[in-house]
Structure 1
Amino acid sequence: MEAVILLLVMLAGVSNAFLQAGETKCNITPNSSLCSVALGGSVSLQLMTNASGRRLDFKKKLSNGFMNVFSLKKGKVTVHEAYRNRTEFLISSGTLKMTKMARNDSGQYSVEVFDENGIKLRNVIFTLDVQGNIWHILIPVCSAVAALLMVVLCCWVCCKVRRHKKTGKNTSNLDMNSLEDHQSTECSMNRTPHIVLIKC
C-alpha cells in the first residue's frame, strides 16, 4: 500500500512539472514574423540589444486601431494598465518579458524605435500566437488512468495474499487430520492382536 501511495505522489509531481509552462524566447527583428507561446507560460521578446538613449512604442493591433502595451521615453518605462504586474521591460538588454499569457494576447504587434532626436529608426511588425498546452488535458487523464490501474493492481495483490493464507490454513488442518487418522489406525492395529489373543 505504501508503494501505491508513493507512486501516486510521484505521478502528481510529474503532472505538476508538465503543467507548468516554460518560457519562450523570441528575437524580434525586421525578418521575424511569428512568435509562438504556450498558454499560461511566459515570453521574452528581444527587441534590441540595448535600449539606452532610445524611444520605443510597443503596441497591439486591434480591429479599431492600436493599443499601447508599453512605451519607453527618456529612460522611463510606462506599461499600460491591462499589462501591469505581468510585463517588464529591461532597458539594458532591450528585452520585454510577459508572463501568464492568455489567448487574448494573441495578435499582431508593432515595435517602433526612435533615436534621441525623435527620428524613427525602424518599425517591426510581428505576430504573437498563444497556443493551448495539450499537457493540461493529457497529463490529468493519464494520471487518473494510472491511479485507477494501481488501485486495481493493489486489490488483486491483496486478494491473492488472502487466498494464499486461506489455502495454507486449510492445508495445515488437512495435514493435522491425516496425522490423527494415521495415529488412530496404528492404535487399532496394535490392539487387534491383544483381542485375538484373549479370544484364544
Structure 2
Amino acid sequence: MEAVVGLLLMLLGLCHGVETSCDGRQDGAQCYGPLGGTVVLQLMDDASEIFRFIWSNKTRRILTWRDNKTAFNRIENRSSFTPSDGTFRINDLRWTDGGEYTLAMFDSRGKTMKLLTLQMIVQAPVSSVRLVSECLSQGEMKVSCSSEGGDSPQYSWTLDGHTLTDAQLLSGGNESEDITLKQDVSGQLVCSVSNNVSRVWREETISTCGDCGITITETVTSTVDHSLLILGLRAAVAILILIGIVVYLAWKKKKYEELYR
C-alpha cells in the first residue's frame, strides 16, 4: 500500500511540477515544501568543510555525511545531496516529511561544532482556479473565485494589471473570494490564488453595463448578440436552399418539355 501511495504522489508531483527552495543555514528556519513536489534545502555552504554531520527528525536519522561522502540516506530513492553547495533535494514530498529537523555537525574528534533546527511544513499546492460571474439587477456583477486543492489559499484580484479600487468595487476586497463590481467596469480581470508553495491564476475579460452584467471569456471578442446573427444566417441558408429547389424544378420542367415536344 505504501508503494502505491508513493507512486500516486510521484505522479502528482509530475503533474504539478512544483519546486520550492529554502535556506536552512539559520537556526529555526521555516521551510515550505509542496505535497508531491520537490523541496531544495540548503543545509550548509560546502560539505567538504565538515568532517561529519547528521540530519534527522524527531524519530529517525535521515542523512549522514562522513569523510567527504554520504554514509547513509534513508530516503535515497527520492532524494539527492550535493556536497559542493550543501543542498539536499527531496522529491515526491509526503505529509510524513513535515516536522522538525535537526542538523548536527561534528569535527574529527566527535565534538559538536554546530546544531541547527529546521521546521518543514508540507502544503498541497493549488491546482486550478475557477471564476463564476452573476449579473445583478442594477447592472453590477458578482464574481466568485474558487480553487481546487491547496492548503491555506490566499486570494488577490487585479483589473488590467492594477489592484481593484473602491471606485470599482461595490463589495468585497482584493483579498476576498467574492467581489461585486459596480456598473460600467470592464477590462481584464485576474484572480490569483496562492499559498507558500504555489500560485495559480485565472484571467477573463469582463464588462458590466447599466442594465445588465455581461461576462465575456477570453474566447469571445465582442458583445454582439450572436443569437440574432445565427438566426440571420439560418434564414439566409433557408432562402438559398429554396431558390435552389425552384431553379432545379424549372430546369426539370424545361427538360421534360423539350423531350416531348
State the TM-score, normalizing by the size of structure 1: 0.59
State which of 33, 42, 47 in structure 2 corresponds to 1:51.
Answer: 47
CA contact (8 A) 1:53 1:116 kept: no
Alignment match, 2:240: 168
Alignment match, 1:79: 72
State which of 24, 29, 34 in structure 1 corresponds to 2:30.
Answer: 34
Considering fraction of residues, name the structure with more helix.
Answer: 1
State which of 17, 25, 30 in structure 2 corresponds to 1:21.
Answer: 17
Distance 1:126 1:165, change over 3 A: same
Distance 1:72 1:138, change over 3 A: same
State which of 49, 61, 73 in structure 2 corresponds to 1:68.
Answer: 61
Distance 1:166 1:114, change over 3 A: same
Identity percentage of aligned residues: 23
How many Å apart are 1:36 and its aligned residue?
0.6
Aligned length: 144
* Partners of 1:118 and 1:163 in 2: CA distance: 91
Alignment of 1:99-178 (within 5 A): 99-135=91-127, 138=148, 164-173=236-245, 176=247
CA contact (8 A) 2:23 2:29 kept: no
Distance 1:80 1:163, change over 3 A: farther
Gap regions ≥5 residues in structure 2: 1-11, 129-146, 150-201, 203-218, 220-226, 252-261
CA deviations on 1:45-71 (whole Å, 9 max, x unpaired) are: 11111111421100011xxxx301110
* Partners of 2:106 and 2:20 in 1: CA distance: 27
CA contact (8 A) 1:44 1:97 kept: yes
Q: Partner letter of residue 132 of structure 1?
A: A
* Partners of 2:69 and 2:108 in 1: CA distance: 13
* Partners of 1:163 and 1:71 in 2: CA distance: 79
CA contact (8 A) 1:21 1:39 kept: no
Structure possessing the higher radius of gyration over alpha carbons: 1
State the TM-score, normalizing by the size of structure 2: 0.46
CA contact (8 A) 2:34 2:122 kept: yes
Q: Partner letter of residue 58 of structure 1?
A: W
CA contact (8 A) 2:30 2:118 kept: yes
Higher relative contact order (Cα pairs below 8 Å, separated by 6+ residues): 1
Distance 1:112 1:167, change over 3 A: farther
* Partners of 1:42 and 1:60 in 2: CA distance: 18
Backbone CA RMSD of aligned residues: 3.7
Gap regions ≥5 residues in structure 1: 1-15, 143-148, 150-155, 181-200
How many Å apart are 1:120 and its aligned residue?
0.9
Alignment match, 2:195: none
